[in-house]
Structure 1
Amino acid sequence: MLRLALKTLRYRKGGFLASLIALFVGAVVVQGCGGLLETGIRANVKAERLAAAPVVVTGSQDYPGHAVGTATEPMTERVLLDENLVDAVAKVPGVAAAVPDISVPITALAGRPADASGHGWSSASLSPYKLVAGAKPTVSGEVVVDSATAKKLGLRPGQRLKASVRGIPHDFRVTGIAESRTATESALLFSDDEATRLYDRPGKIDDIGVLAAPGTNLATLTDAIGDAVAGRGAQVLHGDDRGVAEFPDAISGKQNLIPLAGAFGGLATMVAIFVVGSTVGMLMQQRRREMALLRTTGVTPGQLRRMVMAETAVIAVVAAGLSLAPGLAFGHFMYDVLVDQDLIPGVMIFSMGFIPRLVGFGATLFAALAAAFIASRRVSKVRPTEAMAEATLQTRWISPIRMILAFLFLGGATALAIVTASVMTGPIAASTAAPSAMLWAVGIALVSPGLCRWLAAALRWPVGWFTGLSGQLAMLNAYVRRVRLASAVIPIMLATGLATALIYLQTSQDDASNRIFADGLKADAVVSSQNGALPPSLVDTLSRLPQVAGASASVSSGGRLEKVLDEGKGDNDADRRVRPSRLDLQGVSASGARQTIARPVVKGDYGKLTGDSIVLPTDVLRDNDKDIGDRVRLRWGNGEATTMTVVGSFTPPRGFGYAMVPAEALLPRTTDGLLPQILVKAKPGVSSSDLKTALRKAAGDVPGLVVADRSEATAAHEQGDETGRVASFLLAAVVVGYAVIALINSLMVATAERRSEFALQRLIGSTRSQVMWMMSVEALVTALVGILLGTGVAAGALIPFGIALDGSVLPGGPGWIYPTIVGTAVALTFATILFPTWVALRARPVEATVAP
């Protein structure tokens, strides 16, 4: 059968090419998405400043003490180590030195915004940094600068350097210039005491660099250090994992990339399987006459199925082989886009090993063989005399397996829609709305022949009346050949439905977010800095201005409210079992909160947000059976747990819940401790220009200062949402682009297969223009039916999402998006149907009727 299969492929080049394209593109997309997922899972980051330390001990980002069976996300901020762990690591056999390391955020150098970090001089051995000029720092106010920064700023030993630490200006004397062969980021090296003072995290350090004794086995050393720090909130890294310790952004990058790549990969794999299955199934339907003829010559059903499976396997193996290099390139391309949009840090190493390639190959082969088996099953089981008659016109499409699958997919889509509308709230509803779009598409595709019959019947008379005799013939074709019409409609439905759903899911979120930001912005001005760091003391400075009614810091992070299930033994968090619930945190200043927060308190007072206090949403208080004055347990983003007193409650926007805490309590518990912005409310009668002038003057020489009024701040917020928008549009482009390729592929093959039909029409008197007009009407009907079904797919996802997001059944976003999608679908349908028709009509009718 393999030999026969190879011979048949030689004479079916069009079908072979169509299958090859669908399988090839599917394998490329699945492999590329798999590479992204592997990159996120591995989260490999090459060590630079810690390159000389073969083993690094850093804080564990795992959530401490969660109950068994309650999966949680990692901590949102960097988890610090207790400095007494240094002695414990130093005592491990094989450790030559255990060097504590801290990173101090340097936000400006020489009066200009900068991205640099400061460290103690003792940690210079971890890179290693070596002096090339001057001497090491010994007292407060001295600093060694890396050679690249020194060259850029024109610094030499003995000169003065102004540097801002977390937005606070300092003046240092440069004592030396140091050079490293591995570190690429700007670095300042202080004396150890100075670095500890600027670090301002008493009793804490970022990580420990371990220098091994000569001849020590690193694997054994890593295990021994792991045993020494077990149960103390630490993790031991080696190899490419070490880079995570010095680039904590890789932690958030991993948290962003894994769900994003999972969504990419899951949806892309489903689309690939669906598109490949549709393409192979359509090509098998076109060969019904050929397979029926084989049945009449004595070929058994099993032989027929084996021949078809062998053909398909050959094409799938060739396509998978050709996709290996492009799959790697495509994955790297998507990785570069995500890096450019700051969704993931560029220090993460793109990884694409054996597993993504195997998954791409397996998904492609499975989809192809499954489609070939299903498509060949019916014609291989009928009697030979019936097969010849049935091959002429396929009208039966219902089968028990098909209806069971349709019931499962449509039922699953309905269940997700109900969950989205009734259980989910806010942007998180997209996590169920997006998969429901794919389930709707597959379910509708399975029953599409029946739907096409009803829609064709509804369009038959109005279209036929407007388009004349050729149009009536086109509508008769569409009505009678509903199975073939369904094969042409499915890729249009898929492209239209998924494009509309995925794009409007994002634009609706953007619309809601921007509207909520504008409604919640009570302040008349927002003060920020280009480097994202303002001195915390500036809040009090601005609040004392005669033009200012109130000023409040504004800083964001994430945390969890914990319900303790079992206290365990002692005070060890590792023994305590809790049930955490995620909660976004907004840090504000009690002195200016009333004036700058737009949402009024339901109970309590914003002015009491000092110390260990918290203002919670009313629904969170109700769900936790708490009231004003009660105490709750809060786990900050850096892993610390604090018992907080509830001093107020408010009603946040539906689906956009958060809690408010004192900014002075939240800032030290963020990774960098940077104050990004200050909200300012003007006194009555103060103009916007006078307020901005006063704020700039009071801020003095803060590097990169930006003072924006309400409209400017709203515009900046809309611009800031571009990162998430680009990621969603990339997902839509990948999935929909593949669907468009399938649309072009399917329609061109389906139209080219009708050469003999066109020739027969011309032999009985039809002109070329009449055939072209008939096919134009068919193209219009095909596009209309596909767009109607695609709109149904999108509506099945967008309506529940809109209800969950803000109660609206209509999606938010630009109105031109949907007409553009529809217009593109119509244009592609006409082009892919009329072009092969025009090519087929170039041949003489007598020759076309006998052409293979």
Structure 2
Amino acid sequence: MLSIALCTARTRWAAFVGSFVALALGVGLIAAMCLGLAATLDAPERLPERFARAPVVVKGNDVLRVPGSAGERTRKLAHPRPVGPEIVRRLAGLGPVTEDRSFPVRTGAGPEQLVGHPWSVAAFAPYVLAAGRAPQSDDEVVTTGWAGPGARIDTDRGPVTVVGTVTDLGFEDAVFWTDARAARLSPAVQHLVVAADPAAVREAVRADPGREGDVQVLTGRDRRHADPDPERDDEALLAANALLGTAGGITGFVSVFVVASTFAFAVERRRKEFALLRTAGATPGQVRRTVFAEALLLGVVASAAGCLLGAYGAPVLASHLVNEGLAPRWFAIGDAIWPYHAAFWTGLLVALAGVVAASWRAGRVGPAEALREAAVPTRVMTPGRWILGAGLLLAGLGALAHALLTDPSDLLHRKTYISRPMLFIVAFALLAPVLVGPLVRLIAWLPARLPGAGGMLIRENAAVGVRRTAAVAAPVLVTVALAGSLLGTTATLNGARAAETRQRTTADYVITGGAGGFDGAAVERVRAVPGTVVSVTAATAVHRREEGVALIRSEARAADPRALARTTELPLTAGRVTDLDDGSVIVTEEWERHTVGSAVEVWLGDGTRRTLRIAAVMSVGTGNNGAYVTPANAPGATVDRIDVRLAPGADAAAVRTALAEVTRQAGGRVLTTGRWLAENHPGTRRTTRTGFLLVLGIALLYTGIALANTLVMSTSDRARELAMLRLAGATRWQVLRLVAGESLLVVLVGAVAGTLVAALNLAGVRAALALLDVRSALEIPWAALGATSAACAALAALSAVAPAAVCLRRRAVESAGVRD
């Protein structure tokens, strides 16, 4: 069988080109993705940045630790604790100490994210003066190079003069004041550098058992936890890991689909060949082993080529992730070996799995029926295909119904709406031959009734050649369904979140602050504007322990309940906003305990443990409703938003002018509610959007391969049919238009079927939103569907017309087999 497979591969290599390219490309992509995953899992440990030269760093605690039945659970605190003055005095007795403060700085002349520090801590990075001198007075600063010596800059901390610059180390844009001025600008001490023995520092901290948990003592590599955003690299690696994992999974799914489709069509074209083998005495097992041997040979060669392709493609992928900001700047591909094994054996398994159904079908004909089977087209929908297609469809519908009845919010999670469409895609692809006939006749109904025979011939050719039509429509179905499901779901969810915000906000103006928010004086100036009702809120968080195991963080807002009730309409299902007080909390229905009046144990944003009464309950919605507490339960939270509602009879123009003036002094912005909603319209995260585009690009590439392979093979086999059209009087251009029209019709069939799959998935998402009491429109990405369908149509037309044009170069009587 292997020798026959080798001869077949050598003499019929053109039939295997499409499968080879699809498999090699799939293995290459899987190898590149796995190499990227290996790099994220084996990333080098990040070194300290701001305190690289500091001996010991004492940091205010920013981690909440809660014991549970399954061990200790930790979460980052929303408001880390500062280093208290008692600890500063105690550690000062061990050796020299340097107090560090970090605070946001706003200026129209510099980078968006500026941070201020005292000059004394610059030496621990170490920052080195590149020009000028150190600051000596309150209005003098040193920058990291974004403004040069002599520059006069207006900041929200007052006007300053740049007297020096330091070498930019790349991890922050900073402004350094004198130590005295920084202490007045930000009194809290966030870090304390101690020039003493680490053991002595730890002993001094442990000397006060009641305050030991308030600080962390960092030495060695642990000093990186005192850097700005110490988790940014870990978060970037986690996002890159999710992106690569999703893209790799989709690649595997699409490659199996395409390879199986191309193998099945190639086997169908060789029915006469297999029929002759059976007549010559070949057993069904021998025929199947021949097909398997061909797949094995193809899988080994294509997988090896794919691994080589992945080795060259992985560094390009890593560079793209870094350039797009989706991975840390030091991210690079390592020397892991397992990705090549994973890609190679996956490719070989895909090749063998893709040929299972085709080989079984090839060996089913009996010796006495071989020639008749070769001459007469067999039915496409076998019992196995019916069972598998219908089973997957019912499984998809059942899983969707179960989710809607038990946990509708699960359908809104990214992992769910990425994986769930696969069931429907495979089901519709298996049932495609059943859909082809009705869709072809429906779409071609009007063209078939136009003058001339072209429309009728296109319809009948597509309807009769069910297997060919289904083989071409299937990859189009996959691509269009993925585009519609993924992009449509994210657009629908973004629209739902925007609708929630719009329904909730009843204020006339929204005032937003910069990174540092608003201080108490700024808030009082806004409240003093006549003719207004003001609601001040601050971002915070509360943590809860559920089932004695999980420690769950909920984003929260701190607000005065009476003012909040006047400017915001919360989606309450029980209780009242005005019942909120310093001893209570407003929660959502997703909390384990969500009955009004019951007590719930929580940990506040700074880690303080409290038992609060539930004052009101909100619906779950899209999952962003969070929780509400009073300012007393949000220690350390900074006001970042002020909602303003006009009082009855107030002069809107005068109020707007007064608000603009007081907001300008505080470095904030006053926006109408409509403008604020437009600027804060929810969007898809960059990593998610990039991942979707990568997935859709892979699907479109595979679709092009499948279309080219199937149409080139099928059009070449129709040489006699095209010649008969020429002999019947059709011109060369009429025949080419007929071929192009038929390919476009089949693509349209696939696009319609893919749109039906996408509509089914989006209907499930919309039903989930309705059950969650979210009123929003269904967003169908018509532009993306149109662009995807147009790309498929162009590829199909080119793949069909090019081989047809080659066939038409021969004399019609020769192609038709007519002898003189």
TM-score by length of 2: 0.80
Aligned equivalent of 1:265, options 248, 251, 268: 248
SS at match of 2:470: helix
Matched residue, 2:490: 506
Matched residue, 1:333: 320
Give per-residue Cα distances to partners, 1:14-58, cap 9 Å, x unaligned. 434322432344345445554665566567656543445799998
Pairs within 5 Å for 1:684-695? 684-695=648-659
Deviation at 1:543, TM superposition (A): 1.1
Matched residue, 2:512: 528
Distance change in 2, residues 1:650/1:386 (3 Å): closer
Q: How many residues align?
A: 789
Pairs within 5 Å for 1:119-158? 119=117, 123-124=121-122, 126-130=124-128, 145-146=142-143, 148-149=145-146, 151-152=147-148, 154=150
SS at match of 2:294: helix
Structure 1: gaps spanning 5 or more residues:
91-95, 214-228, 566-576
| Cα distance between partner residues in 2 of 1:67 and 1:686 | 57
SS at match of 1:487: helix
How much identity, in percent, do the aligned residues show? 22
Matched residue, 1:794: 758
Matched residue, 1:632: 600
Asked if 1:595 corresponds to 2:566, the answer is: yes
| Cα distance between partner residues in 1 of 2:33 and 2:196 | 36
Matched residue, 1:730: 693
| Kept after mapping to 1: 8 A contact 2:272/2:375 | yes
| Cα distance between partner residues in 2 of 1:732 and 1:360 | 18
Aligned equivalent of 1:837, options 774, 797, 804: 804
Deviation at 1:508, TM superposition (A): 0.9
| Cα distance between partner residues in 2 of 1:799 and 1:842 | 50
Give per-residue Cα distances to partners, 1:591-628, cap 9 Å, x unaligned. 632332133867766567565642224x357x515324
Distance change in 2, residues 1:243/1:271 (3 Å): farther
| Kept after mapping to 2: 8 A contact 1:78/1:248 | no
Aligned equivalent of 2:475, options 491, 494, 516: 491
| Cα distance between partner residues in 1 of 2:505 and 2:453 | 63
Distance change in 2, residues 1:784/1:814 (3 Å): closer
Deviation at 1:518, TM superposition (A): 2.0
Asked if 1:432 corresponds to 2:430, the answer is: no
| Cα distance between partner residues in 2 of 1:68 and 1:50 | 35
| Cα distance between partner residues in 1 of 2:96 and 2:251 | 47
| Kept after mapping to 2: 8 A contact 1:102/1:199 | no
Deviation at 1:521, TM superposition (A): 1.9
Matched residue, 1:811: 778
Matched residue, 1:757: 720
| Cα distance between partner residues in 2 of 1:848 and 1:69 | 78
Distance change in 2, residues 1:314/1:763 (3 Å): same
Aligned equivalent of 1:782, options 735, 743, 746: 746
Aligned equivalent of 1:413, options 390, 396, 399: 396
Q: Which stretch of the first structure deviates more once superposed, 769-778 or 310-319?
A: 769-778
Distance change in 2, residues 1:735/1:660 (3 Å): farther
SS at match of 2:658: helix
SS at match of 2:494: helix
SS at match of 1:753: helix
SS at match of 2:595: coil
| Cα distance between partner residues in 2 of 1:269 and 1:208 | 54
Deviation at 1:589, TM superposition (A): 4.2
SS at match of 1:285: helix
| Cα distance between partner residues in 2 of 1:793 and 1:847 | 45
Matched residue, 2:209: none
SS at match of 2:106: strand
| Kept after mapping to 1: 8 A contact 2:511/2:663 | no
CA RMSD of aligned residues (A): 4.9
| Kept after mapping to 2: 8 A contact 1:583/1:657 | no
| Cα distance between partner residues in 2 of 1:582 and 1:766 | 76
SS at match of 2:645: strand
Aligned equivalent of 2:678, options 702, 706, 715: 715
Give per-residue Cα distances to partners, 1:66-123, cap 9 Å, x unaligned. 55499x9964858679889999xx9xxxxx9999985613322587665233446665
| Cα distance between partner residues in 2 of 1:769 and 1:507 | 43
Pairs within 5 Å for 1:438-587? 438-453=422-437, 455=439, 466=450, 471-529=455-513, 533-555=517-539, 558-563=541-546, 577-581=548-552, 583-587=554-558
Asked if 1:187 corresponds to 2:169, the answer is: no
Pairs within 5 Å for 1:60-459? 64-65=66-67, 68=70, 75=76, 77=78, 104-108=102-106, 114-119=112-117, 123-124=121-122, 126-130=124-128, 145-146=142-143, 148-149=145-146, 151-152=147-148, 154=150, 164=156, 169=157, 179=166, 182-189=169-176, 205=191, 238=221, 246-250=229-233, 252-254=235-237, 256-293=239-276, 300-301=286-287, 302-330=289-317, 332-334=319-321, 336-337=323-324, 339=325, 344=326, 347=329, 349=331, 351=333, 354=336, 355-356=338-339, 358-380=341-363, 382-383=365-366, 386-397=369-380, 402=385, 405-406=388-389, 409-422=392-405, 423-425=407-409, 428-453=412-437, 455=439
| Kept after mapping to 1: 8 A contact 2:40/2:237 | yes
| Cα distance between partner residues in 1 of 2:465 and 2:142 | 77
Distance change in 2, residues 1:534/1:331 (3 Å): same
State the AA in 1 paired with 2:531: Q
Matched residue, 2:205: none
Distance change in 2, residues 1:805/1:606 (3 Å): closer
| Kept after mapping to 1: 8 A contact 2:606/2:635 | no
| Kept after mapping to 2: 8 A contact 1:54/1:239 | no
Deviation at 1:664, TM superposition (A): 6.8
Asked if 1:23 corresponds to 2:23, the answer is: yes
Deviation at 1:499, TM superposition (A): 1.5
| Cα distance between partner residues in 1 of 2:776 and 2:153 | 58
Give per-residue Cα distances to partners, 1:693-722, cap 9 Å, x unaligned. 11121234344x322112211221227667
Deviation at 1:233, TM superposition (A): 8.6
SS at match of 1:686: coil
Deviation at 1:679, TM superposition (A): 1.8
TM-score by length of 1: 0.77
Give per-residue Cα distances to partners, 1:135-154, cap 9 Å, x unaligned. 8789x9598735525x5353
| Cα distance between partner residues in 1 of 2:398 and 2:34 | 28
Distance change in 2, residues 1:596/1:416 (3 Å): same
SS at match of 2:533: strand
Structure 2: gaps spanning 5 or more residues:
200-211
State the AA in 2 paired with 1:841: L
SS at match of 1:701: helix
| Kept after mapping to 1: 8 A contact 2:530/2:655 | no
| Cα distance between partner residues in 1 of 2:279 and 2:545 | 72
Matched residue, 1:218: none
| Cα distance between partner residues in 2 of 1:76 and 1:742 | 51
| Cα distance between partner residues in 2 of 1:153 and 1:78 | 35
| Cα distance between partner residues in 2 of 1:597 and 1:393 | 71
Distance change in 2, residues 1:848/1:18 (3 Å): farther
Distance change in 2, residues 1:152/1:771 (3 Å): same
